[in-house]
Amino acid sequence: MKFNKTIFLLAYLMALAITPSLATSYEMEEPNSNLQRTTHFFHSRKQNRVSLTCDKNPKVCHIKGSAGSDCCKNKCVNFTIDVFNCGRCGKKCSFPKICCEGKCVNPRSNEKHCGKCGNKCDNRGSCVYGMCSYA
């Protein structure tokens, strides 16, 4: 119980320590200036977001963690595996096809991409329902 009271007291003191510095910076401003500052903050964030799009700056797609290195309709995509942009912008793979190496393939029957991209069946096997069959 004492531990909880101690934590609460520390949190309260930290809040008090922060509050005076915020209060003194706002005391000299007009009443509507907080609203103007908030509006300016969101406006500047929107401008930064627009400038980081791949149509204006294609290098954004090469950043680690990006969906892909290709830019399509202002989004980073990977033309080699994206079923909505397979090989080029807007080329959609129909069901049940998937995008492998920039081509729409049926993983249920394709010997080079049996069940998934890059899963190649041996010369003596064939792809049946997405599995390599050797019968």
Beta-strand relationship, 103-105 and 98-100: antiparallel
Tens digit of pLDDT for each residue in 36-60? 555 555 555 554 444 568 888 888 9
Q: Is residue 40 part of a domain?
A: no
Position 29 confidence tier, pLDDT thresholds 50, 70, 90 = very low
Q: Is residue 54 part of a domain?
A: yes
Domain enclosing residue 68, as ranges: 47-78
Q: Is residue 84 part of a domain?
A: no
Q: Is residue 60 part of a domain?
A: yes
Q: Is residue 5 part of a domain?
A: no
Average pLDDT (69-87) is 94
Q: Is residue 66 part of a domain?
A: yes
User: What's the domain count of the chain?
Assistant: 1
Tens digit of pLDDT for each residue in 11-26? 777 776 665 544 444 4
Helix (H) or strand (E) segment spanning residue 114: none
Q: Is residue 110 part of a domain?
A: no
Which residue matches tokens 């069946």?
121
- What are the phi and psi torsion angles at 44 (to 5°)? -70, -35
Q: Which residues pair with 98 in a beta bridge?
A: 105
- Between CA 36 and CA 89 the distance in angstroms is 41
Q: Is residue 73 part of a domain?
A: yes
